[in-house]
Amino acid sequence: SAVISQKPSRDICQRGTSLTIQCQVDSQVTMMFWYRQQPGQSLTLIATANQGSEATYESGFVIDKFPISRPNLTFSTLTVSNMSPEDSSIYLCSVVLAGGITGELFFGEGSRLTVL
Q: What minimum distance in Å lies between the beta carbon of 10 and another protein?
A: 12
User: Residue 9 interacts with another protein (CB under 8 A)?
Assistant: no
* Contact positions with another protein (CB under 8 A) in 43-82: 43-45, 48, 58
Name beta bridge partners: 55: none
Please identify, among the stretches 15-23, 66-74, 76-84, 100-108, the one whose residues bind another protein according to the rule CB under 8 A.
Answer: 100-108
User: Residue 106 interacts with another protein (CB under 8 A)?
Assistant: yes
Q: What minimum distance in Å lies between the beta carbon of 92 and another protein?
A: 7
Task: List strand residue ranges (DSSP E) for 1-116, in order.
Answer: 4-7, 10-13, 19-25, 29-37, 43-49, 56-57, 68-72, 75-80, 89-97, 106-107, 111-115
Kindly write down the DSSP assignment for every residue of 16-41, as one continuous string.
T--EEEEEEESS-EEEEEEEEE-TTS
User: Residue 108 interacts with another protein (CB under 8 A)?
Assistant: yes
